[in-house]
Protein backbone atom coordinates (compact mmCIF):
# COMPACT_ATOMS: atom_id res chain seq x y z
CA UNK A 1 0.00 0.00 0.00
CA UNK A 2 1.41 3.34 -1.08
CA UNK A 3 0.84 6.66 0.63
CA UNK A 4 -0.35 9.26 -1.86
CA UNK A 5 -0.67 12.96 -1.09
CA UNK A 6 -2.81 15.05 -3.43
CA UNK A 7 -2.71 18.84 -3.26
CA UNK A 8 -5.84 20.90 -4.03
CA UNK A 9 -8.21 18.05 -3.30
CA UNK A 10 -11.38 20.01 -2.52
CA UNK A 11 -12.85 19.26 -5.96
CA UNK A 12 -12.11 18.74 -9.64
CA UNK A 13 -9.26 16.60 -10.94
CA UNK A 14 -7.47 16.45 -7.59
CA UNK A 15 -10.55 15.12 -5.80
CA UNK A 16 -10.96 12.48 -8.51
CA UNK A 17 -7.31 11.50 -8.06
CA UNK A 18 -7.82 11.01 -4.34
CA UNK A 19 -10.68 8.66 -5.26
CA UNK A 20 -8.38 6.69 -7.59
CA UNK A 21 -5.86 6.11 -4.80
CA UNK A 22 -8.37 5.31 -2.05
CA UNK A 23 -10.38 2.98 -4.29
CA UNK A 24 -7.32 0.91 -5.08
CA UNK A 25 -6.41 0.63 -1.41
CA UNK A 26 -3.62 3.16 -1.08
CA UNK A 27 -3.52 5.55 1.84
CA UNK A 28 -4.87 8.74 0.28
CA UNK A 29 -4.16 12.07 1.93
CA UNK A 30 -6.33 14.91 0.63
CA UNK A 31 -4.74 18.30 1.11
CA UNK A 32 -7.51 20.87 0.83
CA UNK A 33 -7.75 24.64 0.71
CA UNK A 34 -11.09 24.37 2.48
CA UNK A 35 -12.19 22.05 5.26
CA UNK A 36 -12.41 18.94 3.07
CA UNK A 37 -15.95 18.11 4.26
CA UNK A 38 -16.52 16.03 1.12
CA UNK A 39 -14.09 13.43 2.45
CA UNK A 40 -15.87 12.81 5.76
CA UNK A 41 -16.47 9.10 6.33
CA UNK A 42 -14.59 8.03 3.20
CA UNK A 43 -11.44 6.74 4.84
CA UNK A 44 -9.36 9.61 3.56
CA UNK A 45 -6.96 11.53 5.76
CA UNK A 46 -7.54 15.26 5.26
CA UNK A 47 -5.15 18.11 5.87
CA UNK A 48 -7.46 21.13 5.73
CA UNK A 49 -6.87 24.84 5.23
CA UNK A 50 -3.73 24.56 3.12
CA UNK A 51 -3.25 27.55 0.82
CA UNK A 52 -0.24 26.79 -1.36
CA UNK A 53 0.41 30.51 -1.88
CA UNK A 54 0.99 31.00 1.82
CA UNK A 55 4.31 30.03 3.43
CA UNK A 56 2.83 29.56 6.91
CA UNK A 57 0.04 27.42 5.54
CA UNK A 58 2.48 25.13 3.72
CA UNK A 59 4.61 24.95 6.88
CA UNK A 60 1.45 23.78 8.67
CA UNK A 61 1.06 21.06 6.04
CA UNK A 62 4.65 19.93 6.58
CA UNK A 63 4.04 19.81 10.34
CA UNK A 64 0.84 17.79 9.84
CA UNK A 65 2.74 15.25 7.74
CA UNK A 66 5.83 15.08 9.97
CA UNK A 67 6.89 11.44 10.21
CA UNK A 68 4.70 10.37 7.27
CA UNK A 69 6.60 8.66 4.47
CA UNK A 70 5.14 9.72 1.12
CA UNK A 71 5.40 7.51 -1.97
CA UNK A 72 3.38 9.66 -4.36
CA UNK A 73 3.01 13.43 -4.17
CA UNK A 74 0.82 15.09 -6.78
CA UNK A 75 0.43 18.83 -6.93
CA UNK A 76 -2.83 19.58 -8.75
CA UNK A 77 -4.01 22.91 -7.30
CA UNK A 78 -4.05 25.65 -9.90
CA UNK A 79 -6.07 28.43 -11.42
CA UNK A 80 -7.06 29.33 -14.97
CA UNK A 81 -7.37 32.80 -16.46
CA UNK A 82 -8.84 34.27 -19.61
CA UNK A 83 -6.83 37.52 -19.72
CA UNK A 84 -6.80 39.22 -23.08
CA UNK A 85 -4.52 41.62 -24.90
CA UNK A 86 -5.12 45.15 -23.66
CA UNK A 87 -6.99 43.99 -20.55
CA UNK A 88 -4.14 42.83 -18.36
CA UNK A 89 -4.48 42.81 -14.59
CA UNK A 90 -0.87 42.42 -13.55
CA UNK A 91 -1.63 42.00 -9.86
CA UNK A 92 -3.92 39.10 -10.70
CA UNK A 93 -1.26 37.66 -12.99
CA UNK A 94 1.21 37.72 -10.10
CA UNK A 95 -1.31 35.93 -7.88
CA UNK A 96 -1.73 33.27 -10.56
CA UNK A 97 2.04 32.86 -10.86
CA UNK A 98 2.20 32.50 -7.10
CA UNK A 99 -0.34 29.66 -7.22
CA UNK A 100 0.56 27.87 -10.48
CA UNK A 101 4.36 28.17 -10.41
CA UNK A 102 5.46 28.92 -6.85
CA UNK A 103 2.74 26.79 -5.24
CA UNK A 104 4.25 23.46 -6.31
CA UNK A 105 7.74 24.68 -5.37
CA UNK A 106 6.54 25.62 -1.88
CA UNK A 107 4.83 22.27 -1.43
CA UNK A 108 7.48 19.96 -2.88
CA UNK A 109 10.33 21.70 -1.08
CA UNK A 110 8.41 21.58 2.21
CA UNK A 111 7.65 17.85 1.82
CA UNK A 112 10.92 16.75 0.18
CA UNK A 113 12.06 15.14 3.42
CA UNK A 114 8.94 12.97 3.49
CA UNK A 115 9.49 11.44 0.04
CA UNK A 116 10.45 7.78 0.15
CA UNK A 117 13.28 6.33 -1.92
CA UNK A 118 11.57 5.33 -5.15
CA UNK A 119 8.99 8.04 -4.52
CA UNK A 120 7.23 9.91 -7.32
CA UNK A 121 6.32 13.55 -7.71
CA UNK A 122 3.73 14.64 -10.25
CA UNK A 123 2.95 18.25 -11.04
CA UNK A 124 -0.19 18.93 -13.01
CA UNK A 125 0.66 21.88 -15.23
CA UNK A 126 -1.08 22.21 -18.60
CA UNK A 127 -0.47 21.79 -22.29
CA UNK A 128 -1.07 25.56 -22.30
CA UNK A 129 2.34 25.81 -20.65
CA UNK A 130 4.08 24.15 -23.58
CA UNK A 131 6.10 26.60 -25.68
CA UNK A 132 6.48 24.08 -28.50
CA UNK A 133 2.72 23.40 -28.58
CA UNK A 134 1.60 27.04 -28.49
CA UNK A 135 -0.21 27.38 -31.78
CA UNK A 136 -2.84 29.91 -30.77
CA UNK A 137 -1.40 32.39 -28.24
CA UNK A 138 -3.56 34.27 -25.70
CA UNK A 139 -4.11 33.10 -22.08
CA UNK A 140 -0.95 35.03 -21.10
CA UNK A 141 -0.86 34.51 -17.38
CA UNK A 142 -1.99 30.89 -17.53
CA UNK A 143 0.48 29.92 -20.25
CA UNK A 144 3.37 31.80 -18.63
CA UNK A 145 2.77 30.46 -15.12
CA UNK A 146 2.35 26.88 -16.37
CA UNK A 147 5.52 27.15 -18.50
CA UNK A 148 7.31 28.21 -15.32
CA UNK A 149 5.82 25.20 -13.54
CA UNK A 150 7.24 22.95 -16.26
CA UNK A 151 10.67 24.50 -15.71
CA UNK A 152 10.23 23.94 -11.98
CA UNK A 153 9.55 20.27 -12.63
CA UNK A 154 12.81 19.83 -14.53
CA UNK A 155 14.68 21.57 -11.72
CA UNK A 156 13.00 19.31 -9.17
CA UNK A 157 14.04 16.30 -11.22
CA UNK A 158 17.70 17.34 -10.91
CA UNK A 159 17.24 18.12 -7.21
CA UNK A 160 15.43 14.94 -6.21
CA UNK A 161 16.84 12.29 -8.54
CA UNK A 162 19.98 11.81 -6.41
CA UNK A 163 17.61 10.95 -3.55
CA UNK A 164 15.89 8.29 -5.67
CA UNK A 165 12.77 10.38 -6.31
CA UNK A 166 11.29 10.70 -9.82
CA UNK A 167 9.46 13.71 -11.20
CA UNK A 168 6.92 14.05 -14.01
CA UNK A 169 5.00 16.99 -15.47
CA UNK A 170 1.43 16.20 -16.44
CA UNK A 171 -1.39 17.55 -18.58
CA UNK A 172 -4.79 16.13 -17.56
CA UNK A 173 -6.54 16.71 -20.89
CA UNK A 174 -9.43 19.12 -21.35
CA UNK A 175 -11.54 18.19 -18.37
CA UNK A 176 -15.07 19.13 -17.31
CA UNK A 177 -14.45 20.83 -13.98
CA UNK A 178 -15.32 24.14 -12.37
CA UNK A 179 -12.26 25.63 -14.10
CA UNK A 180 -13.64 24.94 -17.57
CA UNK A 181 -17.32 25.28 -16.74
CA UNK A 182 -19.10 27.48 -19.30
CA UNK A 183 -16.59 26.70 -22.05
CA UNK A 184 -17.92 25.43 -25.38
CA UNK A 185 -18.48 21.67 -25.38
CA UNK A 186 -18.12 21.35 -21.60
CA UNK A 187 -20.46 18.35 -21.49
CA UNK A 188 -18.27 16.50 -23.97
CA UNK A 189 -15.00 17.17 -22.16
CA UNK A 190 -13.10 14.39 -20.42
CA UNK A 191 -14.60 13.60 -17.03
CA UNK A 192 -12.43 14.15 -13.94
CA UNK A 193 -12.43 10.43 -13.07
CA UNK A 194 -11.04 9.49 -16.49
CA UNK A 195 -8.38 12.21 -16.34
CA UNK A 196 -7.41 11.15 -12.82
CA UNK A 197 -7.10 7.48 -13.81
CA UNK A 198 -4.78 8.52 -16.64
CA UNK A 199 -2.66 10.72 -14.39
CA UNK A 200 -2.29 7.90 -11.86
CA UNK A 201 -1.32 5.47 -14.63
CA UNK A 202 1.41 7.81 -15.89
CA UNK A 203 2.80 8.14 -12.38
CA UNK A 204 2.64 4.38 -11.87
CA UNK A 205 4.78 3.91 -14.98
CA UNK A 206 7.39 6.36 -13.71
CA UNK A 207 10.56 4.54 -12.69
CA UNK A 208 13.82 5.68 -11.09
CA UNK A 209 15.54 5.78 -14.49
CA UNK A 210 12.76 7.57 -16.37
CA UNK A 211 14.00 10.93 -17.64
CA UNK A 212 11.91 13.94 -16.72
CA UNK A 213 9.01 14.15 -19.16
CA UNK A 214 5.85 16.14 -19.84
CA UNK A 215 2.98 13.78 -20.57
CA UNK A 216 -0.71 13.94 -21.31
CA UNK A 217 -2.86 11.76 -19.01
CA UNK A 218 -3.44 9.57 -22.09
CA UNK A 219 0.30 8.86 -22.23
CA UNK A 220 1.19 11.16 -25.16
CA UNK A 221 4.63 12.75 -24.77
CA UNK A 222 4.25 16.54 -24.99
CA UNK A 223 6.85 19.08 -26.14
CA UNK A 224 8.25 21.55 -23.61
Ligand X SMILES: NC(=O)c1ccc[n+]([C@@H]2O[C@H](COP(=O)([O-])OP(=O)(O)OC[C@H]3O[C@@H](n4cnc5c(N)ncnc54)[C@H](OP(=O)(O)O)[C@@H]3O)[C@@H](O)[C@H]2O)c1
Secondary structure (H, E, C), 200-217: HHHHHCCCCCCCCCEEEC
Say whether 169 sits in a helix, a strand or coil.
strand
- In the complex with ligand X, the residue whose CB is nearer, 79 or 161, is 79
Say whether 34 sits in a helix, a strand or coil.
coil
Residue 54 beta carbon to ligand X: minimum distance, rounded to whole angstroms:
7
* x-marked contacts with ligand X along 66-105 as a string, rule CB under 6 A: ----------xxxxx------------------x------
How many other CB atoms are found less than 10 A from the CB of residue 31?
31
Q: Which residues contact 172 (CB under 8 A, 6 or more apart)?
A: 13, 124, 126, 190, 195, 196, 198, 199, 217
- In the complex with ligand X, the residue whose CB is nearer, 8 or 122, is 8
Taking contact as CB under 6 A, which single stretch among the options 36-44, 62-70, 177-185, 200-208 is the one that binds ligand X?
177-185
Taking contact as CB under 6 A, which single stretch among the options 12-20, 59-67, 152-160, 202-210 is the one that binds ligand X?
12-20
Residue 35 beta carbon to ligand X: minimum distance, rounded to whole angstroms:
9
Pairing mode, strands 3-7 and 115-124: unpaired
* x-marked contacts with ligand X along 22-61 as a string, rule CB under 6 A: -----------xx---------------xxxx--------
Strands (E), the chain: 3-7, 27-31, 45-47, 70-75, 115-124, 166-171, 214-216
- In the complex with ligand X, the residue whose CB is nearer, 34 or 64, is 34
Taking contact as CB under 6 A, which single stretch among the options 114-122, 153-161, 173-181, 203-211 is the one that binds ligand X?
173-181
- The secondary structure of residue 190, as a DSSP letter, is B
- In the complex with ligand X, the residue whose CB is nearer, 187 or 209, is 187
Strand ranges of the sheet holding 45-47, from the earlier edge strand across to the other edge = 45-47, 27-31, 3-7, 70-75, 115-124, 166-171, 214-216
Q: Which member of 4, 6, 13, 105 binds ligand X (CB under 6 A)? A: 13
Asked if 122 is part of the footprint of ligand X (rule: CB under 6 A), the reply reads no
How many other CB atoms are found less than 10 A from the CB of residue 22?
19
* x-marked contacts with ligand X along 189-218 as a string, rule CB under 6 A: ------------------------------
Write out the residues near ligand X by the rule CB under 6 A: 8, 10-14, 33-34, 50-53, 76-80, 99, 124, 126, 171-172, 174-175, 177-180
Amino acid sequence: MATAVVIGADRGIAAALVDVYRERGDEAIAVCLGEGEAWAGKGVRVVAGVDVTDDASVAKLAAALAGTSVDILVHVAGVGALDRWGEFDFDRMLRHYDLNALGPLRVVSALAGNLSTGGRVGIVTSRMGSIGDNGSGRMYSYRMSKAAANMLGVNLYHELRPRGVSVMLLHPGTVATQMTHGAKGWDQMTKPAEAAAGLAAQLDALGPDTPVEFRHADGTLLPW
